[in-house]
């Protein structure tokens, strides 16, 4: 097909994407007015297309000769040159792929003299504010055949859900905290993303870097050495190019720490819990799960997704657990899942008794030691080590992200069990393995944890926890008494808990995060404080003093020690 050698000056101003987008529309509705498209359509209609009803070329146009068209174009180009108009980049963004071109008013003069008279929509916008509206409109005109009135309104749905969170004060606004190496347990609050603006030093009382290992010189050196030697990422999943000697060393080290045959790494303990419980429950024939009512969301998720029958026992209530176990046939597989140190009320279960009951009824135990590893026991292996029952624990899960100062999770147990999860656990198999920096840091953390230094850090942490807890109680704050390092203060109202936390930060440069639903049940909202070995006595005094003030300032009352009540904890459950 021979086309006239006439470049369309209008299309030449558009991007290729815009030309592609507009061509079908011009062909369908504008060919009558455009000599270039007109030529094309006339040719097409006589050679290929029989039904040209929608491609009629107007007689006036077809009667124009090449020189006439060229003259019009030259006129058009002349005007364009004199106006020196450039097409703003916004145009590129707003051209859609359905034949409509969004064009700014500045470009009005660039409109093709022929197409100007056609029904083609050449939309205009005056400023940026209109862009969004245009986008919304474009979304609607994407396919004119579809009736958009009855379709699901996704954005409305999201808006409503977010509004509901805001209404019940459970909408989360993160505090922006920049940890500074060497400053722990202090850090910088960043009001502004810009590094140098509006930042100030605050004391952090809610970090899960319980021993401050995240800034330990040995961990930092391990990270630097690892990145120098091995670079950044791991390069793949464990199966495809992502298993290094560091992975295997760390798994051996973790198995050794927990006195187990084997350990398996995950990218977090959330993933470890979810994957392990899901995979086991799903695979074991007729499996039932017995789950503590206070279990963490990661366990709940795995249990829920497995769809196996579940039985929830009251938090750390051994009699209730036994009552439920008695009702189940002895021969079927059962998993009893619970935490040793509870993350939100700081309680510690009677580990040996729980395990013994579970075993007496033919269950295996899945025990989350996330808030205990690094912190309890001679080597920091957790409550299992402290209570000398490591040999009784079937599956232990732990994190590298809290007391071990890094990120990642793991399970430890017998070799057949870990090999089974390694072979069947989707959350283990189908994800990139942990990078060398993280592995090296975790190896260093465990080394510290198993050394005298680790023991001394744990001792100091416990001393500080004791000092803080007794001073808070003496001040009349409703401390939830717990035997662990976690000190919760009951507030019982999301808005008040948030207000307390904001006042502490704004007025006293103290950061304690309020804990609201869904992390805890509604009505049990609290402040959760974690003292580390590095909090000084003066910091403790300053905290207690500040808390007393903000507590009263927002209308809450301080109580005598005897009057203090403890709320019953029940975490949401599957």
Supply the residues annotated as catalytic: 402
Cβ 208 to ligand PLP shortest distance, Å:
7
CA-CA distances (angstroms) from residue 497 to 9, 112, 502, 526? 65, 63, 9, 6
Of the candidate spans 23-31, 36-44, 368-376, 550-558, the one that interacts with ligand PLP by CB under 6 A turns out to be 368-376
Helices (H) and strands (E) in the chain, counts: 21, 16
Least distance between ligand PLP and beta carbon 334 (Å): 21
Asked if 407 contacts 401 with a C-beta cutoff of 8 angstroms, the reply is: yes
Query: What pairing do the DSSP bridges indicate for beta strands 486-490 and 510-511?
Result: unpaired
Angle between helix 452-474 and 436-449 (nearest 10): 80
472 Cβ neighbours under 8 A, 6+ residues apart: 479, 487, 489, 529, 544, 547
289 DSSP β-pair partners: 310, 335
Nearer residue to ligand PLP within complex by CB, 471 or 526: 526
CB of 100 to ligand PLP, least distance (A): 47
Beta partners for 409?
A: 266, 399
3 state SS of 344: coil
Q: Where are the beta strands (DSSP E) in 419-570?
A: 486-490, 510-511, 514-515, 526-530
Cα distances (Å, whole numbers) of residue 545 to 85, 207, 246, 548: 66, 20, 47, 5
Contact 242, 332 (CB under 8 A): no
Tokens of 176: 């922006």
- Tell me, residue by residue from 341 to 360, as one string, x for binding to ligand PLP by CB under 6 A and - for no binding: --x-----------------
Does residue 546 touch ligand PLP according to CB under 6 A? no
Least distance (Å) between residue 348 CB and ligand PLP:
13
Residue with Cβ nearer ligand PLP (368 or 521): 368
Is residue 94 within 8 Å of residue 21, measured between CB atoms?
no
Q: How far is the CB of 271 from ligand PLP (least distance, A)?
A: 7
Q: Per CB under 6 A, which region of 15-23, 175-183, 275-283, 364-372 contacts ligand PLP?
A: 364-372
How many residues of this chain interact with ligand PLP, rule: CB under 6 A?
Answer: 14
CB of 413 to ligand PLP, least distance (A): 16
Nearer to ligand PLP, 495 or 570 (CB): 570
Nearer to ligand PLP, 30 or 302 (CB): 302
Task: Kindly state the DSSP code that residue 561 receives in the 8-state scheme.
Answer: G
Which of 298, 301, 316, 464: binder of ligand PLP (CB under 6 A)? 298
Taking CB under 6 A as the rule, which mask of x and - marks residues 520-539 in contact with ligand PLP?
--------------------
Question: Which 232-291 positions form the footprint of ligand PLP (CB under 6 A)?
Answer: 268-270, 273
Options 339, 345, 385, 525; binder of ligand PLP; rule CB under 6 A: 339
Provide the b/e sequence for 483-508 (b: ≥16 CB within 10 Å): ebbbbbbbbebbebbbbbbebbbeeb
What is the distance between the alpha carbons of residues 424 and 418, in angstroms, rounded to a whole number?
Answer: 10
Does 213 bind ligand PLP (CB under 6 A)? Our answer is no
Q: Given the complex with ligand PLP, which of 22 and 298 has the nearer CB atom?
A: 298
Binding to ligand PLP by residue 38, rule CB under 6 A? Answer: no
Query: How far is C-alpha 209 from the chain's CA centre?
Result: 19
Smallest separation, CB 486 to ligand PLP (Å): 10
Query: Which is nearer to ligand PLP, 125 or 205 (by Cβ)?
Result: 205
Distance CA 77, CA 557 (A): 79
- Give the whole-angstrom CA distance, residue 466 versus residue 485: 8
For tokens 């990145």, what's the residue? 227
How far apart CA 386 and CA 108 sit, in angstroms, is 79
One residue of 247, 258, 296, 469 binding ligand PLP per CB under 6 A: 296
409, 268 in Cβ contact below 8 A? yes
Closest listed residue to residue 418, CA positions, set 241, 272, 236, 250:
272
Can you give the C-alpha Rg of the chain in angstroms? 34
Nearer to ligand PLP, 403 or 504 (CB): 403
CA dist., res. 124 & res. 159, Å (int): 29
Q: How far apart are CA 237 and CA 288, in angstroms?
A: 31
Instruction: For residue 370, state whether it binds ligand PLP (rule: CB under 6 A).
Output: yes
Q: State which residue, 273 or 365, has the beta carbon closest to ligand PLP.
A: 273
Min dist CB 195 to ligand PLP, Å, is 27
The residues in 372-431 that bind ligand PLP, with binding defined as CB under 6 A, are 399, 401, 409
61: phi then psi, degrees, rounded to nearest 5:
-70, -45
Is the peptide bond preceding residue 501 cis, with omega within 30 degrees of 0? Answer: no
> Considering beta carbons, is residue 322 or 368 the nearer one to ligand PLP?
368
| 3-class SS of residue 88 | coil
Stretch that binds ligand PLP, among 138-146, 212-220, 366-374, 560-568 (CB under 6 A): 366-374
Between 358 and 530, name the residue whose CB sits nearer to ligand PLP: 530
C-alpha atoms less than 13 angstroms from C-alpha of 175 in its C-beta half-sphere: 26
CB within 8 Å of 253: residues ≥ 6 apart: 443, 446
- Min dist. Cβ of residue 368 to ligand PLP (A): 5
The 10 Å Cβ neighbour count of residue 563 is 10
Nearer to ligand PLP, 118 or 399 (CB): 399
**Contacts to ligand PLP by CB under 6 A:** 268-270, 273, 296, 298, 339, 343, 368, 370-371, 399, 401, 409
């Amino acid at each position: 097909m021979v086309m006239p050698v006439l470049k369309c000056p209008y299309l030449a101003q558009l991007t290729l994407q815009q030309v592609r987008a507009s061509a079908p529309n011009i062909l369908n509705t504008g060919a009558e007015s455009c000599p270039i498209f007109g030529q094309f359509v006339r040719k097409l209609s006589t050679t290929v297309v029989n039904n040209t009803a929608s491609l009629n070329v107007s007689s006036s146009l077809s009667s124009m000769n090449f020189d006439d068209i060229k003259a019009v174009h030259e006129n058009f180009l002349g005007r364009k040159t004199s106006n020196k108009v450039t097409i703003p980049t916004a145009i590129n963004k707003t051209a859609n792929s359905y034949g409509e071109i969004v064009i700014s008013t500045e470009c009005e003069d660039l409109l093709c003299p022929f197409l100007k008279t056609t029904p083609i929509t050449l939309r205009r916008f005056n400023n940026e504010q209109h862009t969004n509206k245009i986008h919304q409109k474009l979304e609607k005109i994407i396919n004119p055949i579809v009736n958009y009135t009855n379709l699901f309104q996704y954005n409305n749905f999201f808006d409503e859900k977010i509004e509901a969170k805001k209404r019940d004060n459970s909408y989360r606004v993160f505090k922006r905290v920049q940890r500074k190496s060497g400053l722990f347990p202090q850090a910088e609050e960043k009001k502004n993303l810009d590094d140098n603006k509006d930042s100030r030093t605050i004391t952090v009382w809610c970090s899960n870097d319980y021993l401050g290992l995240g800034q330990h010189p040995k961990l930092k050196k391990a990270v630097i050495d690892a990145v120098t030697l091995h670079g950044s990422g791991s390069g793949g999943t464990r199966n495809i190019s992502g298993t290094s000697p560091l992975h295997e060393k760390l798994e051996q080290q973790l198995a050794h720490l927990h006195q187990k045959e084997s350990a398996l790494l995950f990218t977090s303990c959330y993933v470890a819990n979810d994957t392990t419980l899901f995979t086991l429950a799903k695979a074991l024939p007729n499996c039932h799960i017995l789950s503590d009512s206070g279990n963490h969301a990661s366990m709940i998720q795995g249990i829920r997704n497995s769809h196996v029958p579940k039985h929830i026992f009251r938090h750390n209530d051994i009699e209730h657990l036994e009552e439920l176990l008695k009702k189940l046939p002895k021969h079927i597989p059962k998993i009893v899942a619970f935490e040793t140190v509870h993350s939100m009320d700081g309680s510690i279960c009677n580990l040996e008794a729980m395990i013994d009951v579970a075993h007496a009824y033919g269950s295996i135990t899945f025990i989350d030691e996330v808030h205990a590893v690094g912190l309890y026991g001679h080597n920091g292996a957790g409550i299992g080590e402290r209570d000398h029952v490591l040999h009784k624990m079937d599956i232990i899960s732990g994190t590298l992200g809290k007391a071990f100062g890094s990120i990642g999770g793991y399970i430890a147990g017998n070799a057949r069990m870990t090999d089974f999860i390694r072979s069947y656990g989707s959350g283990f198999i189908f994800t990139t393995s942990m990078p060398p920096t993280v592995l090296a840091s975790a190896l260093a953390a465990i080394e510290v944890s198993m050394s005298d230094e680790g023991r001394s850090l744990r001792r100091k942490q416990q001393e500080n926890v004791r000092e803080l807890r007794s001073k808070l109680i003496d001040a009349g704050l409703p401390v939830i008494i717990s035997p662990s390092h976690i000190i919760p203060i009951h507030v019982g109202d999301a808005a008040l808990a948030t207000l307390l936390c904001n006042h502490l930060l704004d007025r006293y440069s103290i950061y304690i995060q309020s804990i609201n639903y869904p992390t805890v049940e509604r009505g049990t909202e609290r402040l959760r404080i974690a003292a580390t070995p590095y909090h000084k006595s003066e910091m403790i005094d300053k905290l207690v003093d500040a808390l007393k003030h903000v507590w009263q300032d927002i209308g809450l009352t301080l109580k005598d020690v005897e009057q203090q009540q403890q709320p019953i904890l029940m975490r949401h459950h599957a």
